[in-house]
Chain A
Amino acid sequence: MELGSINLVTLIATLMVAAVPIMLAALGELVVEKSGVLNLGVEGMMIMGAICGFMTAVATGSPVLGFVGGAAGGAALSLAFAFLTQSLLANQVATGLALTLFGLGLSSLLGQGYNGIKPPPTGAVPFGPLADIPVLGTILFSHDWVVYFSIAMIAAVWWVLKSTRTGLIIRAVGESHDAAHALGYKVNRIRLACILFGGALAGMGGAYVSLVRVPQWTDGITAGAGWIALAIVVFASWKPWRVLIGAYLFGGITGLQLSLQAAGSKIPVEYLSMSPYLITILVLVIMSSGRASLNAPAALGQNFHAAR
């Protein structure tokens, strides 16, 4: 592969930023799916987060509050999903798809009048002299706080799911809701909390697009990032650290593809554009054919009602 005139250091730094929205959204969806709920409305929650975060940041002048607003917007939309699927026992796939369409329309409505406004900037975290270290400084110490937050969240989710009682309960609910119910856990309440968490993270991911990556609001700004986040969860086989790898891979290939073009590479862009999806298919084939299982939560997508 020709990497000749591409600066690898800036490329890595770029992909770390490009991966943040899909990483946050995928991590949220991972927790939701771990609890046995399939929410296909990630795209809708992301774009709601993008507009709510943008509106909050513009109104308050504080980008940090903007991210809080984005998380709240995403969580609010996911609450609608939770009500429909957990209380009314609606089909999760259909509800999730409807949630995306609803979110796209609602965000467009809310965003009327916000075109052409610039949000308050989110600067890099001041690391002082650390940022001047050659190579490492650019890669590790030149980002805004959300980049570090997203990686910290990966570690936190990994630790909670693996080593805490809370994580055990979430996994139990996702693997066998009947068994968890028999043990006395409130299945629907636990799932509601996970759905809200997933919505909040998707909303933050969306807010990152409208506040940092493309600091402006335009209709449809997330442009399909939510679907990629869904693919990453499967690619990661429901393991938090693999979400990190998946997000870097998907985010990185997009950046690499454009950088290669800018550098005048001879590789046809079509090959690079499809490569993340090819890799996903490959991973799925390898995982499902070998000894390792797909690792999907056993109760994924099944509604639970105590009376049944």
Chain B
Amino acid sequence: MLRRTLLTTAALGLGLALSGTGAMAAGMDHVKACFVYVGPIGDGGWTFQHHQGALAVQEKFGDKVELQWQESVPEGADAERVLTQMALGGCNVIFTTSFGYMDATNAVAAKFPDVKFEHATGFKRDSANVSTYNARFYEGRAVEGLIAGRMTKSNKIGYIGSFPIPEVVMGINSYYLNAKKVNPNVELSVVWAFTWFDPAKEADAAKALIDQGVDVIASHTDSTAPLAEAAKTEGKVIGFGQASDMSEYKDGPRVTSIIDNWGPYYVERVGALLDGTYEQKDTWAGIAGGEVLIGEISASVPAEVKAEAEKLRDDIAAGTVHPFTGPINKQDGSAWLAEGATAPDGDLLGMNFYVEGITGDIPQ
């Protein structure tokens, strides 16, 4: 048994090494692209969008690409096992699509230098075969914040957070700052659900916010449950599509959405493997690069607010407006950004503080 395993591993290693060296020189004629998902494809949000991206790769390259994916992989020891299996199973490039896979991705990547690893939303690139990619979702949050500030009647807006990581804190700050800019009386309530995907809990979180008088809810979790909860109020509460357009709620509470558009990136990276131009890199594109799309703003938003939101979207795309432009203080009153300064990417990627005006603490 042991001898057989050893032999198989050796043979695979040899095969991988050979195909790997081939790839560097002249590209490959066939790529097996593998995807690790944190939730089910049917979540209608985050994972659904990654899978749409994967399907776009298949559509573009047809027979030259073979897809493999695994859904609902827990962020922990299980992830490492799944990744190892994929690497041994002949995957040429593995996309790990959640922040929590960061350490597993880097650990497995070190053992398989000839397999490419692409980690979404992370920042660790310990070996040369690990690339990271992310989208500037906070740009979309800014547009949501503007609409929230203009649309709220109770001046109370809410945010359902998943886990207290920089990605989420960044979104909360951007949402709040841009709401405050158009409506100085706005107050933000944050509820941490401590899950990416648990529809009942997400709905409960939305209900808790609604019970507190909140009438605009943004969510940073993966399912459509918060919108379903808002729909029960018959128009009193509005919300946003998260990760996916969630257009099935277009006639109800969904006023616009942040759409994660991974397709172009996946096509580019797999294409680079095919033609031999693949290199390690760190990608962080936003509205300008087409990775973040703002969904159609629905008819329940007044025309002037819609025009204002679209202008903000276009200004961010053109680079004339940055959602984090000083003066901005941290929650404790200390200065963060001076007048006119914009946030450096490093600050954003490690963001672990609320900006001035948000109440409550980030759970540690």
Contacts and interface: CB of A to CB of B under 8 A. Distances in A.
Interface of A: 5-7, 10-11, 14, 18, 21, 108, 111-112, 115-118, 209, 213-225, 254-255, 258-259, 261-264, 266, 268-270, 273
B200 A222 contact: yes
Chain B interface category by residue count: 35 or more
B209 interface: yes
B211 A216 contact: no
A219 B158 contact: no
Contact of B42 (A14, A219, A261): A219
A219 B204 contact: no
A262 B191 contact: yes
A259 B40 contact: no
B79 interface: no
A181 to B, nearest CB: 42
A14 B208 CA distance: 9
B290 interface: no
B211 A259 contact: yes
B363 interface: yes
B225 to A, nearest CB: 5
Contacts of B209: 262
A115 B44 contact: yes
A258 B208 contact: yes
B201 interface: yes
Interface of B: 39-44, 71-72, 158, 189-195, 197-205, 207-209, 211-212, 214, 223-225, 228-229, 231-232, 248, 359-361, 363
Contacts of A254: 201, 204
Contact of B204 (A18, A111, A217, A264): A18
B48 to A, nearest CB: 8
A11 B42 CA distance: 31
A264 B211 contact: no
Contacts of B207: 14, 255, 258
A6 B212 CA distance: 7
Nearest to B199: A214
B50 to A, nearest CB: 15
B41 to A, nearest CB: 8
B203 A112 contact: no
A5 B187 CA distance: 15
A108 B42 contact: yes
A116 B43 contact: no
A115 B363 CA distance: 33
B42 A214 contact: no
A290 to B, nearest CB: 35
Contact of A269 (B43, B192, B231): B192
Contacts of A11: 211
11 contacts: A5-B212, A117-B248, A214-B200, A214-B223, A216-B228, A218-B224, A219-B43, A220-B72, A221-B199, A264-B360, A273-B194
Judged by DSSP, the binding face of B is mixed
A111 B42 contact: yes
A223 B221 CA distance: 14
A7 B190 CA distance: 18
Contacts of A258: 191, 193, 201, 204-205, 207-208
A62 B205 CA distance: 28
Nearest to B207: A14
Interface centre among B40, B72, B204 (most CB of A within 10 A): B204
A35 to B, nearest CB: 29
Nearest to A209: B200
Interface centre among A215, A255, A259, A261 (most CB of B within 10 A): A261
Interface centre among A111, A264, A273 (most CB of B within 10 A): A264
A106 B72 CA distance: 15
A270 B363 contact: yes
Nearest to A118: B248
Given A14-B211, A112-B42, A262-B208, A218 B223 contact: yes
Given A261-B190, A268-B363, A213 B200 contact: yes
B224 to A, nearest CB: 6
B158 A262 contact: yes
A218 B208 contact: no
Contacts of A255: 204, 207-208
B224 A216 contact: yes
B200 A225 contact: yes
B43 A218 contact: yes
Interface centre among A18, A118, A215, A216 (most CB of B within 10 A): A216
Given A118-B248, A259-B208, A218 B44 contact: yes
A84 B158 CA distance: 49
A70 B223 CA distance: 22
A5 B204 CA distance: 18
A259 B212 contact: yes
A305 B190 CA distance: 57
A216 B199 contact: yes
Contacts of A214: 199-200, 202-203, 223, 225, 228-229
Contact of B40 (A220, A261, A262, A268): A220
B199 A223 contact: yes
A218 B246 CA distance: 13
Contacts of A269: 192, 194, 363
Pick the 8 closest A-B CB pairs, nearest first. Answer: A219-B40, A258-B208, A116-B248, A223-B198, A259-B208, A214-B199, A262-B208, A219-B42
A42 B44 CA distance: 26
Given A216-B224, A264-B359, A108 B192 contact: no
A223 B248 CA distance: 23
